[in-house]
């Protein structure tokens, strides 16, 4: 009886053990198939992401898959077909029953913030503390320059009004006409400034482009949005400005002969600031703003230079002569100081456009113009081209200041205008659109290999 009981017990245990081993083997098989499916999806991810747009990467360091594949029309079905081909090549024992791609993150999403984040990441990987410190200095200089420029504009408006009232009063009370001592300078300030700032305006780019269908003007396709890795902050703006200044051309690159004409507008950083459809228009817009900055800084210096103030006062006394109108001499003196500050600013920008540096804070040794030359600016401007302040700022530094004052959305979308405009003019890239570029999306695949497996995976570039 005992032996029989043992035999029955072992038989029952053997059945249990066989069922247990079968379950383990089935679980192992299912785990293997699941792992094989995930591995196939991962290999498909590497394959489809390897089809990034080469020209976009080579020129701007940006890594995107173009969903239009050069056709100009987005075709997600073709994209899914490419994915299916890659997945099929890696699924050796089974078939793909369904595959779907969705939730694309596009470069233009959130007013270009999706692209902004990748540009910031690109700069963070390749630059160190030195470039960040330089850009922070540009930010500090920009704030100081903005304050001085605003103060100068306020003073100019007040003094011009005051001088005009005093001149009319003198004509009424003393019947003596007071000539406008800076009329020629005022006329130059009101017109185009480029003929004053460049010795040869024939060297300026005459390029013009249509802006009706650029990303900043058209209604772009929308996707899942930015990832939120590098959000729009003051610190990240500095890295974005560094990316812009490194990857986009500016007027001095061409005026100094360092670059040859490109496929789109040549003065690209100026376009980010000015937003006009011609290189001339953007250059003039930027130069006027730098003129305002330099005029404010130069006027602030003149207020600390007693010798130059005395020279202006002596000339004012000689011009006005004896008068019973209080304040007229001081008003004429201020007009001379403002005209002199403007003339010095013209000299500064001529230096910058020649690819040289100019001192941010002026000292007596860095001052280039004379009062007589300032009052005859039309004829004397050509003599302002010599000299350089070795420790000063370059034209690109001033562009960095102006970028600080531009809205984040505006400069981000305009930089997408530039990228799209340049790429579309390259051979074979006529159908390129930035809002058809993706760097992140979700995939859902259903695979049958004895069992049906559904798997989801987010495909994205890691940057």
- Shared domain check, 179 and 292: yes
Examine residue 268 and state whether it is found in any structural domain, yes or no: yes
Distant-in-sequence contacts of 183-192, Cβ < 8 A, 24+ apart? 184/375, 184/376, 184/377, 184/378, 185/339, 185/342, 185/343, 185/374, 185/375, 185/377, 186/339, 188/377, 188/378, 189/342, 192/284
Examine residue 122 and state whether it is found in any structural domain, yes or no: no
- Shared domain check, 446 and 305: no
Confidence band of 2 (pLDDT split at 50, 70, 90): low
Tell which wins on pLDDT, 128 or 286. Answer: 286
Is residue 277 within 8 Å of residue 209, measured between CB atoms?
A: yes
- Shared domain check, 65 and 150: no
The percent of residues above 70 in pLDDT, for the chain, comes to 92
Residues 434-445, mean pLDDT to the nearest whole number: 94
Question: What are the C-alpha distances in Å from 334 to residues 207, 316, 319, 379?
Answer: 41, 9, 13, 22
pLDDT of residue 422: 96
pLDDT of residue 456: 86
Is residue 416 within 8 Å of residue 434, measured between CB atoms?
A: yes
pLDDT of residue 266: 95
Going by the DSSP 8-state scheme, the letter that residue 261 receives in this structure is -
pLDDT of residue 24: 65
The percent of residues above 90 in pLDDT, for the chain, comes to 48
- Shared domain check, 58 and 152: no
pLDDT of residue 6: 65
Is residue 240 within 8 Å of residue 116, measured between CB atoms?
A: yes
Examine residue 260 and state whether it is found in any structural domain, yes or no: yes
pLDDT tens digits, 224-244 = 999 889 999 988 898 999 999
Examine residue 27 and state whether it is found in any structural domain, yes or no: no
pLDDT of residue 437: 96
Structure tokens at 261: 């004409």
Confidence band of 171 (pLDDT split at 50, 70, 90): confident
Range of the domain at 244: 127-421
Residues 338-363, mean pLDDT to the nearest whole number: 91
pLDDT of residue 117: 96
- Shared domain check, 193 and 80: no
- Shared domain check, 190 and 310: yes
Distance (Å, rounded) from C-alpha 147 to C-alpha 100? 56
Q: Based on the number of CB atoms within 10 Å of its own CB, is 255 exposed (0-12), middle (13-18) or buried (19 or more)?
A: buried
pLDDT of residue 130: 59
Residues 6 or more apart in contact with residue 26 via CB below 8 angstroms = none
- Residue 442 neighbours by CB distance under 10 Å: 16
Residues 198-210, mean pLDDT to the nearest whole number: 87
CATH code for the domain of 95: 3.10.450
Residue 16 has pLDDT above 80, yes or no: no
- Shared domain check, 417 and 328: yes
Examine residue 118 and state whether it is found in any structural domain, yes or no: no
- Mean predicted lDDT score pLDDT of the chain: 87
- Shared domain check, 448 and 360: no
pLDDT of residue 265: 94
User: CA-CA-CA-CA torsion for 340, 346, 352, 355, nearest 10 degrees?
Assistant: -120
- 33-37, 60-64, 349-353: the lowest-pLDDT one: 33-37
pLDDT of residue 320: 84
Tell which wins on pLDDT, 128 or 75. Answer: 75
- Shared domain check, 342 and 227: yes
Is residue 400 within 8 Å of residue 241, measured between CB atoms?
A: yes
Residues 448-459, mean pLDDT to the nearest whole number: 81
Residue 61 has pLDDT above 80, yes or no: yes
pLDDT tens digits, 269-294 = 999 999 999 999 999 999 999 999 99
Examine residue 342 and state whether it is found in any structural domain, yes or no: yes
- Shared domain check, 184 and 84: no
pTM: 0.86
pLDDT of residue 22: 64
Pairing assessment for the beta strands 452-460 and 95-106 based on DSSP bridges: unpaired
Confidence band of 31 (pLDDT split at 50, 70, 90): low
Confidence band of 333 (pLDDT split at 50, 70, 90): very high
pLDDT of residue 425: 93
Residues 37-51, mean pLDDT to the nearest whole number: 86
pLDDT tens digits, 383-401 = 776 778 888 899 999 999 9
Q: How many domains does the chain have?
A: 2
Examine residue 229 and state whether it is found in any structural domain, yes or no: yes
Tell which wins on pLDDT, 414 or 323. Answer: 414
Most confident of 14-23, 59-68, 257-266, 317-326: 59-68
Is residue 245 within 8 Å of residue 395, measured between CB atoms?
A: no
pLDDT tens digits, 90-116 = 887 778 888 999 999 999 999 999 999
pLDDT of residue 263: 85
- Shared domain check, 137 and 62: no
Tell which wins on pLDDT, 421 or 320. Answer: 421
pLDDT of residue 27: 63
Residue 1 has pLDDT above 60, yes or no: no
pLDDT of residue 131: 64
- Shared domain check, 137 and 81: no
Examine residue 11 and state whether it is found in any structural domain, yes or no: no
């Amino acid at each position: 009886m005992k032996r029989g009981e043992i035999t029955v017990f072992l038989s029952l245990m053997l059945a249990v053990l066989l069922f247990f081993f079968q379950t383990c083997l089935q679980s192992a098989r299912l785990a293997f198939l699941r792992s094989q499916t995930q591995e196939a999806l991962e290999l498909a991810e590497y394959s489809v992401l390897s089809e990034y747009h080469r020209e976009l990467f080579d020129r701007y360091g940006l890594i995107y898959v173009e969903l239009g594949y050069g056709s100009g029309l987005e075709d997600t079905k073709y994209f899914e077909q490419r994915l299916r081909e890659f997945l099929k090549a890696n699924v050796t024992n089974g078939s793909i029953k369904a595959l779907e791609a969705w939730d694309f993150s596009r470069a233009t999403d959130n007013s270009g913030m999706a692209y902004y984040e990748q540009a910031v990441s690109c700069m963070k990987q390749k630059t160190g503390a030195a470039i960040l410190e330089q850009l922070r200095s540009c930010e500090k200089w920009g704030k100081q320059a903005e304050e001085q420029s605003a103060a100068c504009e306020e003073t100019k408006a007040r003094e011009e009004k005051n001088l005009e009232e005093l001149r009319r009063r003198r004509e009424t009370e003393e019947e003596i006409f007071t000539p406008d001592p800076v009329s020629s300078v005022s006329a130059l300030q009101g017109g185009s400034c480029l003929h004053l700032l460049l010795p040869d305006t024939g060297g300026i780019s005459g390029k013009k482009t249509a802006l009706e269908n650029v990303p900043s003007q058209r209604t772009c396709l929308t996707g899942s949005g930015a990832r939120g890795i590098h959000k729009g902050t003051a610190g990240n703006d500095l890295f974005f400005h560094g990316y812009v200044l490194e990857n986009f051309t500016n007027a001095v690159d061409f005026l100094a002969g360092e670059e040859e004409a490109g496929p789109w507008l040549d003065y690209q950083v100026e376009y980010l600031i000015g937003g006009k459809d011609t290189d001339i228009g953007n250059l003039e817009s930027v130069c006027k703003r730098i003129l305002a900055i330099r005029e404010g800084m130069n006027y602030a210096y003149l207020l600390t230079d007693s010798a130059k103030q005395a020279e202006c006062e002596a000339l004012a006394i000689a011009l006005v002569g004896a008068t019973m109108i209080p304040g007229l001499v001081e008003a004429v003196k201020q007009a001379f100081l403002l005209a002199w500050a403007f003339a010095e600013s013209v000299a500064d920008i001529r230096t910058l456009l020649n690819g040289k540096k100019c001192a941010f804070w002026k000292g007596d040794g860095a001052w280039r113009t004379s009062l007589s030359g300032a009052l005859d600016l039309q004829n004397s401007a050509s003599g302002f081209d010599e000299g350089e302040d070795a420790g000063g700022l370059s034209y690109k530094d001033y562009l960095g200041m102006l970028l600080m004052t531009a809205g984040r959305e505006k400069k981000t979308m305009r930089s997408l205008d530039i990228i799209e405009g340049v790429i579309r003019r390259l051979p074979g890239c006529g159908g390129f659109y930035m809002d058809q570029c993706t760097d992140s999306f979700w995939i859902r695949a259903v695979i049958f290999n004895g069992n049906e497996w559904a798997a989801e995976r987010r495909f994205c570039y890691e940057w």
